[in-house]
């Protein structure tokens, strides 16, 4: 058995540095364009000229300017995806998808989604700075700030405060349980990006996911290997994901530091593909809107009342296999399980996660009870029942691995492996390939290290 901590998240340092350099150059350009952007936002928003620049907001993928206006209405922000942190080839697609999803959610749920005034592609933006969304600015504190453990010394990990008051969590969980319950009631017949044709919402385009963007920006993954169309069956989508994981393993040159790690990752990714029949459910649909990045750091809350005021960042939302919605939320400890897996501490994660999962599921059960018609029972199985089943069966871990190329290997060996050393579980073709694959990875690694030495020394 391989040591799980040796399979921790590993980015391509050269690609990551290129992305950071591209982003810094772009930030210099956009900061110089502040005045031009104020006029542009006022024109697109309507209601008079901008009267004050009120600052900027910077997230992992996006950068926004905030402006005040003379009409007394809400402040507005113009938000751009950051080049280098969002793949250039995906930026227009990302923004177009997000705007469609935001409107869909505003029409079909009570999730507090900001109102969009205008949006456009790169070609429509000042100085072609990038695709943009102009929307209302919403007051609030990031929910993760309210829930996190106060950082100590040089701690950078965002983790749930172990001493947080249960009544605080109950109030937060109740609201988010309501959002997830509402999403679980919305269905589509295909897997992919959600868009509107007239008054009809449907899926006609490929899914664009958080994982796809990560692969391009920090792994050097060729974007021409991604799917180009929507999917009709969950199993077809999951097989495409399995192919994506294997292509990632073959193309990221520094994904294995030695032969043992190369073998462990090779086995994990081939085994993931073999596990699809075991864990794939609801193959023919329906498919449910799912956001890869729906978590407290992308929610704003009034810190006094604990009322969530906005849910943000729907750029990687698609109609997805229903089983993703039927998993308990991965973010209940704020950071994902990889934080603990990177330390080799699966038992610690389980010990911390399960009580919070039960607390969240109790909140969900209360929400489900409210939705049942008077005198009638809610249709079974309930969402809360499905979530418990996902955790009990291990499907939670399979689905998490499906969405996370960089975490797949550690998840497989910690939670999905059936025993033994793994090689005996592979088919004949994969076993025959493994030796040549390992040698190729070691050659890639030597070339990569030489390039790093030349670039960073």
What are the residue boundaries of the structural domains of the chain, listed by start?
A: 33-138
pLDDT at position 344 is 83
Q: What is the dihedral of CA 67, 68, 71, 72, to 10 degrees?
A: 140
Domain spanning 33-138: CATH superfamily: Phosphorylase Kinase; domain 1 (3.30.200.20)
Would you state the structure tokens that stand for residue 274, as one six-digit string?
């073999």
Q: State whether residue 195 is helix, strand or coil.
A: strand
Q: What separation, in Å, do the N-terminal and C-terminal C-alpha atoms of the chain show? A: 36
Radius of gyration from C-alpha coordinates of the chain = 23
Contact 317, 290 (CB under 8 A): yes
Report the alpha-carbon distance of residue 353 to residue 335 in Å, rounded. Answer: 11
pLDDT at position 3 is 62
Contact 213, 86 (CB under 8 A): yes
pLDDT at position 51 is 80
Read off the DSSP letter of residue 189. Answer: S
pLDDT at position 420 is 84
| Residue 27 burial (C-beta neighbours within 10 Å; 0-12, 13-18, 19+) | middle
Report the alpha-carbon distance of residue 144 to residue 300 in Å, rounded. Answer: 9
Backbone angles phi, psi at 255, to 5 degrees: -75, -10
pLDDT at position 377 is 67
Task: Tell whether the torsion through CA atoms of 396, 399, 403 and 409 is positive or negative.
Answer: positive
Report the alpha-carbon distance of residue 209 to residue 317 in Å, rounded. Answer: 7
pLDDT by residue for the chain (457 residues), tens only, comes to 556 667 878 999 999 999 999 999 999 999 999 999 999 999 999 877 878 889 999 988 999 999 998 887 889 999 999 999 999 899 999 999 999 999 999 999 999 999 999 999 999 999 999 999 999 999 999 999 999 998 876 667 899 999 999 999 999 999 999 999 999 999 999 999 999 988 999 999 999 999 999 999 999 999 999 999 999 999 999 999 999 999 999 999 999 999 999 999 999 999 999 999 999 999 999 999 999 899 999 999 999 999 999 999 999 999 999 999 999 999 999 999 999 998 888 999 999 999 999 999 999 999 999 876 665 667 789 999 999 999 999 999 999 999 999 999 999 999 999 888 889 999 999 999 999 999 999 999 999 999 999 999 8
pLDDT at position 124 is 97
Q: State whether residue 87 is helix, strand or coil.
A: coil
- Non-local CB neighbours of 286 within 8 Å, separated by 6+ positions: 187, 188, 189, 322
Helix/strand number for the chain, H first, E second: 16, 12
Report the alpha-carbon distance of residue 235 to residue 277 in Å, rounded. Answer: 8
Contact 89, 95 (CB under 8 A): no
| Residue 10 burial (C-beta neighbours within 10 Å; 0-12, 13-18, 19+) | middle
Q: Would you say the pTM of this structure is higher than 0.85?
A: yes
- Non-local CB neighbours of 186 within 8 Å, separated by 6+ positions: 108, 109, 288, 289
- The count of C-alpha atoms lying within 13 angstroms of the C-alpha of 1, restricted to the half-sphere facing its C-beta, is 14
Report the alpha-carbon distance of residue 51 to residue 71 in Å, rounded. Answer: 10
pLDDT at position 398 is 98
Q: Where is 146: in which H helix or E strand?
A: helix 143-147
């Amino acid at each position: 058995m391989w040591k799980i901590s040796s399979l921790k998240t590993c980015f391509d340092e050269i690609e990551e540095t290129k992305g950071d350099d591209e982003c810094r150059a772009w930030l210099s350009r956009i900061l110089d364009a502040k005045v031009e952007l104020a006029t542009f936002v006022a024109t697109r928003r309507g209601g008079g000229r901008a009267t004050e620049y009120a600052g900027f907001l910077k997230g992992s993928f996006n950068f926004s300017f905030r402006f005040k206006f003379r009409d007394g209405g809400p402040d507005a922000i113009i938000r751009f995806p950051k080049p280098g942190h969002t793949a250039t080839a995906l930026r227009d697609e990302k923004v177009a998808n997000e705007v469609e999803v935001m409107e869909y959610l505003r029409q079909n749920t009570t999730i507090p989604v900001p109102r969009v005034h205008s949006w456009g592609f790169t070609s429509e933006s000042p100085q072609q700075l990038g695709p943009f969304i102009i929307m209302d600015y919403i007051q609030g504190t990031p929910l993760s700030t309210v829930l996190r453990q106060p950082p100590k010394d040089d701690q950078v990990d965002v983790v749930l405060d172990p001493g947080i008051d249960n009544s605080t969590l109950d109030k937060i969980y109740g609201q988010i349980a309501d959002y997830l319950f509402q999403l679980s009631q919305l269905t589509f017949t295909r897997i992919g990006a959600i868009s509107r044709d007239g008054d009809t919402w449907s899926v006609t385009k490929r899914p664009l996911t958080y994982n796809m963007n990560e692969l391009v920006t920090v792994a050097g993954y060729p974007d021409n290997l991604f799917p180009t169309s929507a999917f009709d069956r969950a199993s077809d989508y999951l097989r495409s994901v399995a192919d994506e994981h294997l292509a990632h393993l073959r193309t990221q040159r520094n994904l294995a530091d030695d032969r043992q790690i190369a073998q462990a990752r090779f086995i994990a990714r081939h085994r993931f593909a073999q596990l699809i029949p075991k864990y794939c459910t609801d193959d023919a649909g329906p498919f449910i809107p799912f956001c890869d990045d729906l978590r407290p750091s992308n929610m704003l809350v009034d810190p006094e009342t604990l009322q969530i005021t906005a849910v943000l960042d729907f750029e990687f939302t698609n109609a997805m296999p229903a089983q993703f919605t039927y998993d308990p939320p991965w973010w209940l400890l704020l950071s994902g399980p990889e934080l603990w897996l990177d330390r080799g501490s699966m038992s610690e994660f389980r010990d911390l996660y399960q009580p919070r999962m039960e607390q969240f599921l109790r909140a969900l059960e209360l929400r489900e009870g409210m939705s049942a018609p008077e005198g009638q029972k809610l249709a079974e199985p309930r969402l809360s029942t499905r979530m418990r089943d996902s955790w009990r069966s291990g499907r939670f871990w399979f689905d998490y691995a499906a969405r996370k190329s960089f975490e797949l290997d550690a998840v497989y060996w910690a939670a999905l492996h059936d025993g033994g050393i793994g090689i005996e579980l592979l088919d004949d073709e994969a076993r025959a390939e493994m030796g040549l694959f390992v040698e190729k990875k070691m050659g890639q690694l030597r070339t990569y290290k030489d390039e790093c030495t030349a670039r960073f020394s």
